[in-house]
Amino acid sequence: MTKHIDTVRLGSTGPTVSRLGLGAMGMSGMYGASDDAVSIATVHAALDSGANLIDTGDFYGAGHNEQLLRTALEERKREDYALSVKFGALRAPGGGFGGVDTRPEAIRNFLTYTLQRLGVEYIDIYRPARLDPNVPIEETVGAIAELIEAGYVRHIGLSEVGAETLRRAAAVHPIADLQIEYSLISRGIESEILPAARELGVGITAYGVLSRGLLSDSLRTGAPLAADDFRAHSPRFQGENLDANLRLVAELAAVAERHGVSVAQLAIAWVLAQGSDIVPVIGARRPERWAEALGALDIRLTAAELAAIEGAAPADRVAGDRYAAAQLAMLDSER
């Protein structure tokens, strides 16, 4: 699977990354059972295709994801991939979450274990997974800046923060990118957050581009979600909400069919068309899913085609919030 993938600089100060990134979260159980061998093959497929950005979190699978990536990357040259790592989420032995900790001493602790699990000497982009309500963002960013000076981190990123927090953070140290959900049907960043990022020279790494599989063919079979699939507890994937959303996806599928592409490819192409400062991070778990995502790079959408896509799947017709209430309450980007 060899393909030339264009590269862009992430924001005005960040690293040069591939136009598509690989998100590894789903390889560690968030969407039900996964196969390590298949996951490793997917990482290899992404790198062999020309991608270099790999996103993970130290809490994905309570460290499993980082250990998996170490195995996948052990024979690769360090300069051939860029690691984006989220930290701060606290885990419990039973699999639950216990809040966020981004105190400077906690950051140093998290990073120590991350470097060990990944088997690397530095992290390309290091970011708090969520805003810690008990720690000023200036303190968190300042602590990561010290780790940059020490050579353990190259760039600072943020995740799911609002425009005001982004401005405060950028006043302390340049921010390479903001990782945040953005898709055809999750467009909340367009009013304030995206303009602020562009004003500050902060790139966007967009996750949830396929709305956790909703904007694809994977859920149209009607098969129930596994109990350990977190989507089973997400408002958009429950009952009448799911039925309504699948009807919306069916309309989008009709547009995709006219173009001879899949729903997923059309959804990725739509995000790519929103600007070169937005890099979709695709949560592929199998090589064939990554190959499908690559096809979106060849799609060129006209203004009329973009309008037709948005008309088939208007954001205000989406049923249900993108997270459950308790998780939404943790998002600075939703305040």
pLDDT tens for residues 233-277? 688 888 898 888 889 899 999 999 988 999 999 999 999 999 999
**H or E segment and range at residue 310:** helix 303-312
Report pLDDT digits (tens) over 15-42.
999 999 999 999 998 777 889 999 999 9
Is the CB of residue 3 less than 8 Å from the CB of residue 295? no
Confidence at residue 330, expressed as pLDDT on a 0 to 100 scale: 85
Residues recognised as catalytic: 60
Confidence at residue 215, expressed as pLDDT on a 0 to 100 scale: 87
Q: With cut-offs at 50, 70 and 90, classify the pLDDT of residue 6.
A: very high
**Right CATH number for 7-213+273-300 from 3.40.50.300, 2.60.120.200, 3.20.20.100, 2.40.50.140?**
3.20.20.100
Confidence at residue 328, expressed as pLDDT on a 0 to 100 scale: 83
Confidence at residue 238, expressed as pLDDT on a 0 to 100 scale: 83
Q: Which residues face 159 on adjacent strands?
A: 179
pLDDT above 50 (res 1): no
For residue 309, what are the CA distances in angstroms to 119, 207, 249, 313? 43, 19, 11, 6
The angle at the Cα of 197, spanning 252 to 274, to the nearest 5 degrees, equals 25
Confidence at residue 223, expressed as pLDDT on a 0 to 100 scale: 58
Which 8-state DSSP code applies to residue 63?
A: G
The Cα 167–Cα 162 span in angstroms is: 9
- Tell me the whole-structure pTM to 2 decimals: 0.93
- Is 115 in a helix, a strand, or coil? helix
Query: What value does the mean pLDDT take over residues 152-174?
Result: 98
Mean pLDDT, the chain, integer: 93
Report pLDDT digits (tens) over 295-329.
999 999 999 999 999 999 888 888 888 887 888 88
Burial class (CB in 10 A: 0-12, 13-18, 19+), 220: middle
Percent of the residues in the chain that have a pLDDT greater than 70, as a whole number: 94
Which 8-state DSSP code applies to residue 234?
A: S
Report pLDDT digits (tens) over 216-236.
766 655 556 666 666 766 888
Please report, to the nearest 10 degrees, the dihedral formed by the alpha carbons of residues 97, 197, 187, 238 taken in order: 0
Report pLDDT digits (tens) over 94-109.
888 899 999 999 999 9
> Where is pLDDT greater, at 70 or 2?
70
The Cα 279–Cα 275 span in angstroms is: 9
Q: Determine the residue type at 95.
A: G
Q: Estimate the crossing angle of helix 64-73 against helix 36-48, to 10 degrees.
A: 50
